[in-house]
Amino acid sequence: MLNKDLLLDAGASVKSYKQGEYIYKEGSRCMFFNQLMHGTVHIINETDEGKEFLHEIVFPENCFGELPLFDDAPYPMTAVAGQGCEVLQLSRDKFRKLLTDKPEINTYFTAHFVKKIRFEVSRLKEISTTDPKHRISSLINYLKDHEVCMNREVEGVICRNCSKLKLTRQQIACMTGLRVETVIRALKKMEESGEVKIIKGKVYTDTELPLGRCTKPE
């Protein structure tokens, strides 16, 4: 996350998007540095048949779609507002000037890109296995480690208070390359073996946490 005041001083502005609205599309030219302030953003690829492959859910105070700012190539993925959201946007030219004026930001992005690459490499490795339970378990374990490393201050895909996994079965299927029905069966097996809890359809990744611990609204 880059400091909000730093971005505003550099000329950034806030833009609102409705749920389901495209922020940018795969193949389009990158015009802005984007940092999410409120809501969620889904980073996806869409097939010709209209199917989606979910790469990431972006939560507030995280940037997204930044790769083309560094190589001038088109966006490799599509960003869609998962909820109504507000995005802090800084034009490409002003962002590059900011990198020149504040070279320490380059160090931040180096570490940021390394973590993202590790995530994709790990996921591709796990997708190659044929065991659905192992794929889902590996995804959950990675998300736990990933969020601790990326940002301890910001709420992410796994609730810090109750360990609820904020992914639907469909989203888990997209991220693991499995069918929804296979995900449902695998999660049931994981519950039976004590790896997760499933309460009222919600998946909890830490079976030791008390159920009433989370006071955050749905």
CATH number of the CATH domain containing 14: 2.60.120.10
Q: What CATH number has the domain bearing residue 148?
A: 1.10.10.10
- Residue 188, both tokens: 């049931």
Residue type, 99: L
What pLDDT is stored for residue 130 in this prediction?
Answer: 74
Write down the pLDDT at residue 46: 84
Residues 57 and 126 placed together within one structural domain of the fold: no
Q: What's the length of the chain? A: 218
Residue 52 falls within a domain, yes or no?
yes
**Beta-carbon-side half-sphere exposure of residue 89 (alpha carbons within 13 Å):** 15
Contact 89, 24 (CB under 8 A): no
Instruction: Note whether 2 and 108 are within 8 A (CB).
Output: yes
Domains in the chain, number? 2
Bridge pairing between strands 22-24 and 32-38: unpaired
29 DSSP assignment: P
Average pLDDT per block of 10 residues along the chain, 218 residues long: 92 96 96 95 85 84 93 95 93 95 91 83 74 89 65 64 89 87 95 92 81 51
Is 218 a domain residue? no
Same domain, 181 and 116: yes
Following DSSP, what letter does each residue of 196-208 receive, concatenated?
-EEETTEEES-TT
What the block records as the tokens of 127 is 């997708």
Domain residues for the domain of 129 are 108-213
The pLDDT of residue 161: 81
Per-residue model confidence (pLDDT) at position 98: 95
Q: Which helix (H) or strand (E) holds 113?
A: helix 104-127
C-alpha distances in Å from residue 181, one per residue of 34, 169, 178: 35, 9, 8
CB 158 within 8 A of CB 196: no
**3-class secondary-structure state, position 44:** strand
DSSP 70: H
Q: Cite the beta strand spans of the chain per DSSP E.
A: 13-17, 22-24, 32-38, 41-46, 52-58, 63-64, 78-81, 85-91, 197-199, 202-204
